[in-house]
Amino acid sequence: METPHHTNTECIIRIFGYGSLLWKPDFAYVESEVGYIEGFKRRFWQGSDSHRGTKDQNGRVATLIPTQKCNRVWGVVFKVSDPDEQRKAYGGLTKREVKLGGYDVINTVFYPRNADSEPCNVTVFVATRKNRLYLGKASMDTMAMQVHVARGFAGSNTEYVTKTAEYIRKYIPEDDDKHLFDLDRRVRDLAQQTICTNVTDGIEEFYENMPMDDDVE
């Protein structure tokens, strides 16, 4: 694992979130800031067999795919200064992202949305093609169905996708991540179809069990 970023005056680690970390960091931080990193694109090509899926039914979670184009991945940097909180943050993320999730750790440059803030080095968790859980590219319909049916001990895969999309729409409106928003829309469509199917089945069962006119008292 690469060493976290250090300043001249104090030790601060800066962790960049672009998926569930956006809305569920699970560690204490002193400050957060919206911005982006360059040279990557966000894709739901990483499998999850623990937090958002099982070994029999992998979920799909976000990773970053390197690109030569000037792509930006928007997200949030979380700044952690307290040494005890740093150990908790790195310990928890190492277990969740690296040991269980198949991610690696890299450092890259973060560009704040606020023009008055300076770019800084950040730590990013990225899953590459070489890890055992990498699922890779698939059609949007296939990915949406995989997300729809998957659930792990952290919750449903649907929650992971929809809450990530909701956060970005609300707090980072300049992000036009078509891949994320297309997947979110299709996952929501599947959820709605399931609700409608269940309602329809319930109505049919209700009418099937209704007594005939002659039987009504």
What count of Cα atoms within 13 Å lies in the side-chain half-sphere of residue 64? 27
Give the DSSP H or E segment for 74: strand 72-80
114 vs 142: CA distance, rounded Å: 38
Under 8 Å CB-to-CB from 98, ≥6 apart: which residues?
A: 1, 104, 105, 125
Q: Which residues are catalytic?
A: 97
CA dihedral for 29, 163, 71, 103, sign (positive or negative): positive
Torsion, CA 81, CA 112, CA 167, CA 103, rounded to 10: -60
Q: What are residue 11's DSSP bridge partners?
A: 6
13 vs 121: CA distance, rounded Å: 9
